[in-house]
Every structure is written in structure tokens, then in C-alpha cells.
Amino acid sequence: GQNIDQPTEMTATEGAIVQINCTYQTSGFNGLFWYQQHAGEAPTFLSYNVLDGLEEKGRFSSFLSRSKGYSYLLLKELQMKDSASYLCAALDSNYQLIWGAGTKLIIKP
Amino acid sequence: DAMVIQNPRYQVTQFGKPVTLSCSQTLNHNVMYWYQQKSSQAPKLLFHYYDKDFNNEADTPDNFQSRRPNTSFCFLDIRSPGLGDAAMYLCATSREVGGTDTQYFGPGTRLTVL
């Protein structure tokens, strides 16, 4: 079956760096998305990776290793507003999005 | 600003009383999706439209129906809501299906079933 695994919850300190991991098992692979979702709101797009390596976008970076079925989202200089759930979603061979349950990130002052 | 709009943001209905949720978009995207998301769970795709072509997920209950009268609007009809249907319902759009296009989400409608 198809599966996305990511930690349920993480805690970090304001100003610090945090890495949120995601592993995926899909039938075929056409890329991986990261979305941010604040409580009670809709997911918003953060990044899309289809090639191996690190993509940097301001304070947020996303990494992909296709051979390992692994991705991470790196958040630097954490701010209180970064408190949210971070959803990992992989595109399978039929271009269907397979979603993880999200990692709830709690930022402490 | 181009966007995805959902109305209402909060909907309360009674057990068994039909309810309709609406979604509109100004992005002129071909594809519109409806997801159900329960607390701390992944969004679950219910169905999607590519233009007027309707695509139902295999495990979407018959209780859920959808209509897309034109490119801009899409409706989710829940014919007989049960307590288990209480959730956030998310509408999303993308330019194409079967590709790597980003999905853009509306703010969601939180449905409460009494």
C-alpha cells in the first residue's frame, strides 16, 4: 500500500532551527510537496521537490532523496507564527496526491 | 487577488438534514477538488472535477455528491449527514490533473452535525 510517515508533533524554540522528516512509500513517484496548515485553516503551498537535493526558499528549505524515499523540511530562525502543522504529500505514478497526517510544530519562546 | 473562496466558513446542520457547501475560484483552473479533513488527520480526497468530468474516489460514500455548474463554482452536497461527517471540508484547485501542478486551497468549511 501507499504510505506517508511523519512525526505527529515536534517542539522547538523561537530563533532555532528544526527539521521535519517525511518518508514515503508510493507506487511510482512524481514529486513531493510540503504544505503549511495553521489550526482551523487551509493548507498553503510551501515547496515541491522532484529531483534529489536541497531547495532553499528563504527561511524554509526542502530536501529530497528519491533512493531513500525520504524528504525533510528545514525551518530556520523560527518565529512564533511558524507554529502550525506541516503536511508532506507525495505524487504517485497516477499523479494522485498521497497525504501524510501532518506534523504539529509547537514553537516556544 | 485570484483565490479560492468557500462559503460558509462554519456550517451547523442536524443529523440527517441535507447540507450544501460551496466553493468558487477566480484562478480559472480546470480542476476542482473536494477533501474531507478530520482533526490531526491527512486530507482525504472525496472527488475531483476536470472541467465537467467527474471523478469519484472509490471509497467516497454515496452520501456525498458534487456538482460543478461552471468553471468557477463547485458544490458539495451531503444528503444525510451523520455524526461521523463532522469535519473540515476543503476545496482546492489546480490548472491540470495528472501533472505536478500545485493545488491551491480555500479556507475550508467546518461542518458540525448535531
CB B53 within 8 A of CB B2: no
Residue A96: pLDDT band by 50, 70, 90 thresholds?
Answer: confident
Contact A43 B105 (CB under 8 A): yes
Q: Each residue of B1-22: pLDDT tens digit?
A: 669 999 899 999 999 999 999 9
Give the Cα separation of A48 and A32 in Å (integer): 6
B98, pLDDT greater than 80: no
What percentage of chain A has pLDDT greater than the value 90? 86
Instruction: Find residues 20-79 of chain A whose CB sits inside 8 Å of chain B.
Output: 30-31, 33, 40-45, 48, 50
pLDDT score recorded for residue A95: 81
Give the C-alpha distances (Å, rounded to integers) separating B111 from B9, B25, B40, B82, B83: 9, 20, 16, 11, 10
A58 Cα to chain B: minimum distance (Å) = 19
- What are the tens digits of pLDDT across the range A47-92? 999 999 999 999 999 999 999 999 999 999 999 999 999 999 999 8
Whole-angstrom Cα distance, residue B29 to residue B44?
Answer: 21
Beta-carbon count within 10 A of B80 CB: 13
| C-beta of residue A15 within 8 angstroms of C-beta of residue A81 | no
A87/B42 Cβ within 8 A: yes
| B107 vs B114: CA distance, rounded Å | 22
| Cell triple for A13 | 524554540
